[in-house]
Amino acid sequence: MTDTLTEDALAALIEQHRGRRGALLPLLHAVQATCGYIPDAAIAPIASALRISRAELEGVISFYADFRRSAPNAHRLRICRAESCRAMGSEALWQAAQSAPSDTDIEVVYCLGACAASPAAEYDGRLLCRLDAARIARLWQEDQP
C-alpha cells in the first residue's frame, strides 16, 4: 500500500468503522490521519467494505477540500481569502507565498475562524494572525536547519 498504511492497518481501520452509521467520513479521516492522504490502494477496499461504488467514494473525497489524493509535501500553508482577510490584505500574502520552497503546499481556504485577527493563514497546522508579506517570507527561513 504505502509506507505508513499497510493492508493490515487499512483492514483494522475499516473494522473500527464497519457497520457504523455514517462511517464513510470518519473512516476517510482516519486513513488520511495515518498516511497524510487517501491512497489509490485504499479506494477499492473502502468502497467494498461500505458497499458503495468507487465512483461514489471518489465523489465524496473530491467534494471535501480537506481530503487529499496525493502525498503531501513536507509543509502546508493555507491562506484565508474570505472577505475579512481579503479586506485586510490576504492578496499580498498570496503573492508572497508564491516564493515558497518546493516542499511546501500552498492552498486557499475560505475562513480559518480568525476574522478578528485578519489576515490569517495556517502553516503546518499552526494558526498565524495579523500577517503581512514579510512574515510569510520569514516562514521559509525559520524552517531551515
The structural domains of the chain, with segments of one domain joined by +, span 7-63, 75-142
Greatest C-alpha distance within the chain: 50
pLDDT of residue 143: 66
pTM reported for the whole predicted model: 0.71
Nearest by Cα to 74 from 111, 100, 92: 100
Instruction: Identify the pLDDT of residue 82.
Output: 94
121, 80 in Cβ contact below 8 A?
Answer: yes
User: Could you name the CATH architecture of 75-142?
Assistant: 3-Layer(aba) Sandwich (3.40)
More confident call, 87 vs 65: 87
Q: Which three cell numbers stand for residue 144?
A: 531551515
Each residue's pLDDT tens digit, 14-26: 999 988 899 999 9
Q: What is the mean pLDDT of residues 108-121?
A: 94
| CA triple 100-103-109, angle to 5 deg | 65
* Amino acid 3: pLDDT: 62
